[in-house]
Amino acid sequence: MKSIWEWTLVTVFGAIIGGFIAGWIGLLFSSISQRRQAKLAFLVTPSELKHNPLFVSNPKQFRAANLEQLRAAVAKVTPFLKSSRRVDLSDCWDLYQQINPDNLENSYGRAVARKYLEALGKDVGTDPAKILPLIFKKFEDIIRS
């Protein structure tokens, strides 16, 4: 027969261990939930931007008007990505910043765009209007994977 002290000791330690386990599980689920919410919040931004009429009709004006909004979305989601996806997103963001629609009117600008898009596994030919949709698709693919 156990004494009252033994029962108390077992009960207290059991409660403490159970509390630690529950706390760690709570932190794990909270982290998973935060990652999911950050990714979904990011995916909303390109989706909204793609419905802007300037997205296809005037890439130059579209990019200038929405660069900061996309920059903010990238900055918010980056801490929640795995390191490999973080590097991919950073590379894609650098591509988006370097491909300036002003420069796509000359052959050098098209060559730069073509080089970066080939690195992403895409080919747009010579049509600058196809570049933004491909980059946005790449953003979405990085976040979804």
pLDDT in tens, the chain (145 residues): 567 777 787 888 888 999 999 999 999 999 899 989 999 999 999 888 888 888 777 777 888 888 899 999 999 999 999 999 999 899 888 878 877 666 655 666 666 666 766 776 666 665 666 777 888 888 899 998 8
Q: Is residue 65 part of a domain?
A: yes
Is 5 among the domain residues? Answer: no
What is the domain range of residue 61?
A: 38-144
Q: Is residue 110 part of a domain?
A: yes
d(CA 74, CA 65): 16
The answer to whether residue 136 sits within a structural domain is yes
| Residue 20 falls inside a structural domain | no
Does the residue 7 lie in any domain? no
Residue 58, φ and ψ in degrees, nearest 5: -145, 80
The answer to the question of residue 128 being in a domain is yes
In a domain, 3, yes or no: no
Domains contained in the chain, number? 1
| Nearest of 50, 8, 34 to residue 140 by alpha carbon | 50
